[in-house]
Structure 1
Amino acid sequence: PFTWPNAVAVALLVMLGASAAVAFVWAARYSLAISRLRRGVGDTVFYSADGKPWFRMDEQHEEVPLSAISPHLRRAVVAVEDHRFYYHGGIDVIGVGRAASKNLREREVVEGASTLTQQLARTLFLSNSRTWGRKVKEAALALLLEQQLHKDQILELYLNRVYLSGGVYGVQPMARRLYGKPARELTLAEAAVIAGVIQAPSALSPWSNPDRAVRRSHTVLERMREQKLISREEEASAVNRRPTFRPFVATAEARSGYVREYLRQQFRNEFGGDHPPDWQARTTVVPQVQEAAERAVENGLRRLGFRNLEAALVAFDPRTGNLLAMVGGRDYRLSAYNRATKSKRQPGSAFKPFLYATALERGFSPVSVLSGLASMPPLGRDEWIPRNAHAATADELTLRAALLESNNRASVALAQKIGTRPVIRMASDLGVTGQPDVPSLALGTGLATPFALTLAYAAFPNGGLRVKARSLVSVLDADGASVLDNPVSSERVISAETAFQMVSMLQDVIARGTGTAVRQWGVR
């Protein structure tokens, strides 16, 4: 007969059976993946917008057997990252207890207890998200790795995959880039530096923070001495021999080097420095547009003729925020500094559309008249008076005419009428942040990157909607499951009417104003 206790018991049995089946399938799937590791590890591949494979996460990857890695480096990594590596079964129970006790005392997470095997499991199969679900999977995968691989195999995989700053994965390419020698020839002092970087690759990078990297290496040497892996004399000798670091040199090809590294960094921002194999990252970059951008920068610099002049270019789809192309400088091989995303410069007259959009939002129209331009009083404590590129200044101009000729006095007069703070707020809402509250703001005397400035302009042709920059559309793991879905995101910043008027006014700038020169390059 039906009773509620019986029904509950049956339901629980069904749930337990289903959970066991899911766990079995999950374990079987990853067991197969681990068995394949004996044949080598794949790489994350980035796809261009046309769906074709474009480049790998680590184009300089070089795997070597454990026997080809200096014993100094092997011992240093184990000493500082997981000194009970050869004694636990994938999870260090003692370390977990110690970390839990310390975190409870501090009332925050100040210490972790991930073993080398857990770190490898995360690197190969999981994201870097800080969730309990990921930690449980990481622990289970560590146990599976320990069951199917012996310790030296795990250590070899780890040393060939670990992220070590500067876009370098694995100890062999790191040894070549940092010291100009293979990993088997590293001295104790050199090995300690590389082992120390693992804790925080960006903060401890020998290229960007050499002093911190060396101080961290001293901690590594101290741990090795405490664990009786080296003598006190060997420690002192290594501490007194500061390694010489080779300067950082970008190794990627010059073509598309900036945008490739930008995409890699976006991937790292999502998944950390870990390096999962056989993942697929779908990007928004259009190869034909990227090639055109590279040519445009190259030809433009050649035309100007200044040897050390740099340039940057970034192109977005204004409807979606999709990054279509990016060039961060003259030659990525000579300078990896991405001027498109990092170099802040005064936008000058390119800032004026934000001023005029603010005025339109506050009741002005394209035919509103600005008067008294020929005899403006001094502004600010320094009694500054704006000047135009040409000496002649009309006393009255409509907003449309003032923007068409990029009239400085008209722009400053308009800013005085509506106030600088609404303009700053408008620019910030569009993504151009940190602008100064000064009379010359209207002339673009603040700072902005080409990336932020270009994306802000997208709101005009997009009907007043600000779009979020998007370069990664989706990421699939080795099984084809989605681990990242990045849909188009937008929000209204200005009205559709203001956006329409701004497009009309900017079209006039190109058709018969200060921007007519670009028409010879096909811009309309």
Structure 2
Amino acid sequence: MEIYKGRSNPDRRIKNNTGNKLGRTLLVAGGVTGVLALLAFIGYFFYLLGTLPKVDRLADYRPPIVSQVFGEDGNLVGEFYLERRTVVPVDKVPKKLIEAFVAAEDSNFYQHKGIDYLGIIRAAFKNLISMRKKEGASTITQQVAKSMLLTPEKKFSRKLKEAILAKRMEERLSKDEILYIYLNQIYLGAGSYGVQLAAETYFAKNVESLNLAEMAMLAGLPKAPNTYSPIKHLEKAKERQSYVLERMVKEGYITQAEADHAKNTPIVVRSLKKVNSEQSAYFLEQVRIQLEEKYGEDRLYKEGLRIYTTMNAEMQKAAYEGVVNGLKALDKRQGFRGPVKYLAESEVGEFCKHVEDSIDSAALKQGATFQGVVTAVNSAKGDVTVRVGDRTGILNRKNMAWAGKVTLLDTYGKPEGAKGKALPLGSVIEVSVVTPDVNKSGALFALDQEPEAQAALFAMDPKTGGVRAMVGGYDFKKSQFNRAMQAKRNPGSAFKPIIYAAAVDKGMTPATIIDDAPVEYDSGREKSWKPKNYDNIYRGAVTMREALTNSINVVSIKILESTGVNTAIEYAKKLGITSPLANNLTLALGSSSLTPMELTSAYAVFASGGYKVTPYFITKVVDSKGKVLEEIAPPALPVFSAATSAVTLSMDEERNAPAAGTTLTAVPAISPETSYIMTNLMESVVSSGTGQRARALGRPVAGKTGTTNDMKDAWFIGYVPQLVAGVWVGYDQERSLGAGGSGGQAAAPIWTEFMQRSLGGMPVQNFPVPANVTFALINPRTGRLAKEGSEGSVTECFITGTEPTTYDGDAVKTGSDE
């Protein structure tokens, strides 16, 4: 064996050299990689610097603010916005409110320069201990940077940008300027941006009036506005409030005694009267369309315009609720269609969570309608337990009586052959709140059903054209099609007053006798046209008044034939009808399609004493600095003196006189005498004819019903001296309205409910009688004069000079007698 002394093992030397070379190579490679990574990061950093938005524009902070819409009385009726916000100067924000936000969101705000490094370490340590993200470390400055200058995606690049911008903001803006932006920009839940609107939304106060308890509750919202909402989750909101108060104590902003007092201060959640955009959605949409077309989207949604309209808020509410109530009543007469859908037991929770998110009140409001799920049945009592979101209540047999016999099933799944008359577990049904819930349970519900039919209501001041209320359908969220202005439907007998008015101008009178007997017209086809009366009854000789009162079809056709179709069409145009009209005798039966606004505007001519006015919605638009952008004054109101028939002018100068702008005009369309004759005739329709439901108003009312073939369309147009309104009811895809679908049954109740509520504060007025209108006692069976005390005689109105001159029994003069 050979032994080498004093020399290394050659194999080991080779291995060591190889290892050293590998180590050096890896070290060099690592160093190069690190340098390259550093250079890449530096390059990326400088690249980001070049792509960052400019901080300088924050010095002139102008966030999008709400454009407000006001009704005729000056009250807020609607809003247009991208973000619902009211800007408040930082010097008007209470010091304690600022301290509450600082304590809760960024305790080192006044010490750091945009980034709180100690806060980052503290948050990381707490998150590491809890093994989840429990606390963030973004400063108020970083939150402003993210909100104002960056997109909200969760990426490293965005966080890096946020940090850089925060540093820049601190260099260019004062702490107060950053707070001003933060307090006005931050989202605080319930659709509210900024502390001022949040104070209004949750406590019906301005920020200056908040107490410490309320301040702390607002300051607790940024972490999770929905979770800590005092409207939805008051107990969680109080827990968060307590946290904020303790942070304020720790930071030395308040004493422990002050914190304890605030914790024990009762929280009263009370919003300022919230604008109900649902009930005025169609009206506001029309206003929005006009303004956006004229001023553009940015100005409308971001620049805080003040828009004054003709809407009467109480009338608008009455119109919306009248349409909803009327459609539900009509729908229930057609019967219960069964559950909206059927859920498996495993699907109930997810469905209810979705409903819960849509409820924005601590308790279910009386009269509100929701989709609920049947979760239990009590067959013995005939009750079912219904879950609405996270609330529960009872639907008893009495409150679903309209649906008839309904079978309750203690099983999940759609029953076989039930034909909609069964309620198994998991049934999704519409319910309305009869008695609100207490602590999320114990509500009393009534079975409801979303109507399939639609309706429209259009109401205006007949003397100025100001639109007071408009509803274009049952639910704007589901259908933005405005049936009041866009749906052209056959008016049926509601068109007859236009035919009769043309006849009056041609010399006919309310006492003119027409033979109500079957008639046949050659239609030019194999079959002739044999028009029929609605009730298939023929009355023989009747007056024009009786014909309109009872909406007699055959007589109306004969009146049109006597007047001339072309004459009637031209007359309709004078009243403001612009839609094409059928140039044949079917026009007397309302065979030509019109919009509710169009027909209601035509009736307004009768109500105004013969003047045509243009419906309008906007009276004034003012920008955020108070500059009037446009102003529209209604026409000077034409008034006919009953003594002289002379035209005088009157105007509510305070309301109507513009500083500068456009004055609308009232165009003479027909004579005041003809308009009064028609009004008087339509008063008979209400007092003793097809429109008797309107008698419930207990004041002089004129109006006319309309029902088309197979009851596909139901109408009622009517008016008092101060207000004219029209109602249409029907299906979008034309089909019969079924039982109770006539104009008097489907449309008149909606009209009557609306007018009863709208006229409550208005004085009772008679329709003014022009001096050239004469009243005479006549025999309605002959149309001739009657002597005082004659049996069956009635007082009739005439344009002076057209009244009858002979009595019953007088000899009739002929050519041979002369």
Q: In the alignment, which of 504, 508, 514 is matched to residue 370 of structure 1?
A: 514
Secondary structure of the structure 1 residue equivalent to 2:484? helix
Q: Cα RMSD between the aligned structures?
A: 2.4
- 2:561 is aligned to 416
Task: Choose between structure 1 and 2: higher helix proportion.
Answer: 1
The one-character-per-residue Cα deviations of 1:467-490 (angstroms, maximum 9, x if unpaired) are 110110111223323221212231
8 A contact 2:67–2:79 mirrored in 1: yes
Q: Quick check: 1:54 aligned with 2:77? A: yes
Among residues 523, 532, 540, which one is paired with 1:380 in the alignment? 523
Quote the residue 1:275 is aligned against.
Answer: 299
The whole-number CA distance in structure 2 between the counterparts of 1:462 and 1:299 is 30
Q: Which residue is 1:146 aligned to?
A: none
1:257 paired with 2:269, answer no
Matched, 1:432 2:591: no
Letter in 2 for 1:294: Y
Alpha-carbon contact 1:346-1:445 (below 8 Å) kept? yes
Where does 1:309-388 land on structure 2 (aligned, <5 Å)?
309-371=453-515, 373-382=516-525, 383-388=528-533
Alpha carbons of 1:311 and 1:506: their partners in 2 closer, same or farther (altered >3 Å)?
same
Preserved CA contact (<8 Å) 1:367 1:399: yes
Rate the CA distance shift 1:64–1:351 in 2: closer, same or farther, 3 A: farther
Distance 1:58 1:444 in 2: 42
2:544 maps to which of 399, 408, 417: 399
**Aligned amino acid, residue 520 of structure 2:** P
Identical columns (%): 32
Q: Which SS does the other structure have where 1:39 is aligned?
A: coil
- SS of the residue aligned with 1:486? strand
Aligned to 2:687: 511
Aligned counterparts of 1:364 and 1:279: Cα–Cα separation in 2: 53
Query: CA shift at 1:57, angstroms?
Result: 2.0
The whole-number CA distance in structure 1 between the counterparts of 2:294 and 2:575 is 24
5+ residue gaps, structure 1: 1-33, 71-251
3-state SS of 1:329 partner: coil
> How far does residue 304 in structure 1 lie from its aligned partner after superposition?
0.8
Quote the Cα distance in structure 2 between the aligned partners of 1:308 and 1:302: 9
What amino acid does structure 2 have at the position aligned with 1:266? Q
Give yes or no for the alignment of 1:67 onto 2:150: yes
Quick check: which has more Rg, 1 or 2? 2
| Residue 479, structure 1, aligned to residue 622, structure 2 | no
What's the secondary structure of 2:458's corresponding residue?
A: strand
Aligned twin of 1:227: none
Q: Which residue of 2 aligns with 1:497?
A: 673
Distance 1:55 1:384, change over 3 A: same
Whole-Å separation in 2 of the counterparts to 1:329 and 1:66: 41
For structure 1, which segment, 61-70 or 400-409, has the greater mean C-alpha deviation from structure 2 after superposition? Answer: 61-70
- Secondary structure of 1:435's counterpart equals coil
With over 3 angstroms needed to count, the CA separation of the structure-2 counterparts of 1:439 and 1:380, relative to structure 1, is farther
Instruction: Name the structure 2 match of 1:293.
Output: 319
Q: 1:410 to 1:379 in 2, by over 3 A?
A: farther
Structure 1: which amino acid aligns with 2:292? R
On the 8 A contact 1:370/1:398 being kept in 2, the answer is yes
Question: Contact (CA 8 Å) 1:374, 1:395: kept in 2 or not?
Answer: yes
- Which residue pairs with 2:606 in the alignment? 460
| Counterpart contact for 1:253–1:332, Cα < 8 Å | no
Q: CA deviation at 1:436?
A: 1.5
**Alignment-mate amino acid for residue 459 of structure 1:** V
- In the TM superposition, what whole-angstrom CA distance separates every residue of 1:366-389 from its partner, at most 9, and x where no partner exists? 112223x31423243242121101
Deviation at 1:314, TM superposition (A): 1.1
Cα distance in 2 for partners of 1:280, 1:458 equals 29
Superposed displacement of residue 450, structure 1: 0.9
Per the alignment, residue 790 of structure 2 pairs with none
Quote the offset at 1:298 in angstroms.
Answer: 1.1
Show the counterpart of 1:244.
Answer: none
The answer (yes or no) to whether the contact 2:620–2:631 under 8 Å persists in 1 is: yes
Aligned ranges 1:91-130 → 2 under 5 Å? none
**CA-CA distance at 1:422 after TM superposition:** 1.6
Alpha-carbon separation, structure 2, partners of 1:43 and 1:430: 39
Contact 1:380–1:439 (CA<8 Å) still a contact in 2? no
Aligned counterpart in structure 2 of residue 38 of structure 1, from 61, 65, 84: 61
> Counterpart of 1:449?
595
Structure with more of its chain in strand, by fraction = 2
| Residue identity opposite 1:285 in structure 2 | M
Specify every segment of 5 or more residues in structure 2 that has no aligned partner in the other structure, as ranges. Answer: 1-56, 86-145, 154-275, 335-450, 635-664, 702-818
2:452 pairs with 1:308 = yes
- Partner AA of 2:458 in structure 1: V
Cα drift, residue 302 of structure 1 = 1.4
What is the alpha-carbon distance in structure 2 between the residues aligned to residue 64 and residue 409 of structure 1?
A: 71
**Which residue in the other structure is 2:140 paired with?**
none
* Residue-pair matches, total: 309
* Greater alpha carbon shift after TM alignment, 382-391 vs 267-276: 267-276
Correspondence list, 1:202-281, <5 A: 253-276=277-300, 277-281=303-307
8 A Cα contact 2:518 2:554, kept in partner: no
* CA displacement at 1:334 relative to structure 2: 1.7
Q: CA–CA distance in 1 between the matches of 2:561 and 2:462?
A: 30
Task: Measure, in 1, the Cα distance between the counterparts of 2:325 and 2:678.
Answer: 30
Query: Cα offset for 1:491?
Result: 0.4
Deviation sequence 1:130-188 (CA, Å, 0-9, x none): xxxxxxxxxxxxxxxxxxxxxxxxxxxxxxxxxxxxxxxxxxxxxxxxxxxxxxxxxxx
TM-score (structure 1 length as normaliser):
0.55
